[in-house]
Amino acid sequence: MNIFFEGPVLWSQIDANMHLRHSAYADFAAQARLSLLEQVGLTAVQFIQQQLGPILFREELFYHREISPNDKVRVSCEMTKCRPDGSRWSIRHEIFRGDGTKSATILVDGAWIDTRKRKLTGLPPELMEKFKAIPRSEDFVEEA
């Protein structure tokens, strides 16, 4: 399993029903994506230097089981779709609570933006080589 984030559920992430609030799931997935990029050698500093940033077009959450206060979560990431130039991509996250139960599945579709021009772009070749190291799902599809 490709775990890219592990951490505790904080009190500030709990809703009035005493379980993890809906937006905290997305926050955990975002942190896992950042860790994923770092682990394949794509750092925030590189993106700033290249004036690039990731953007999301879609984020879809499927809730399976509740997560309680003081639990721990583990978040997996794997790429499910990508264009050959890396300009568009999709990542599936699965969030597991401390006992190993899958609690949520999060699907995101994203791209890269040139932060100076405010236009979509592909990755430069040196970053694309690193991006190719992201773990791919068994059902991975390369899009045209």
From the list 82, 89, 91, 71, the residue with the least C-alpha distance to 29 is 91
Give the model's pLDDT for residue 103.
Answer: 98
Confidence label for 1 from pLDDT (cuts 50, 70 and 90):
confident
Give the model's pLDDT for residue 118.
Answer: 96
Multiple choice CATH, 3-142, 1.20.1050.10, 3.30.590.10, 3.40.50.2300, 3.10.129.10: 3.10.129.10
pLDDT at 27 over 80: yes
The burial class, CB within 10 Å (0-12 / 13-18 / 19+), for 40 is middle
Is pTM, for the whole model, over 0.75?
yes
Phi first, then psi: give them for residue 82, nearest 5 degrees. -165, 145
- The pLDDT tens digits for 93-137 are 999 999 999 999 999 999 999 999 999 999 999 999 999 999 999
pLDDT at 41 over 80: yes
pLDDT at 144 over 90: no
**What's the rounded Cα separation, in Å, for the pair 133 and 136?**
9
Give the model's pLDDT for residue 26.
Answer: 96
Segments making up each domain of the chain, as ranges: 3-142
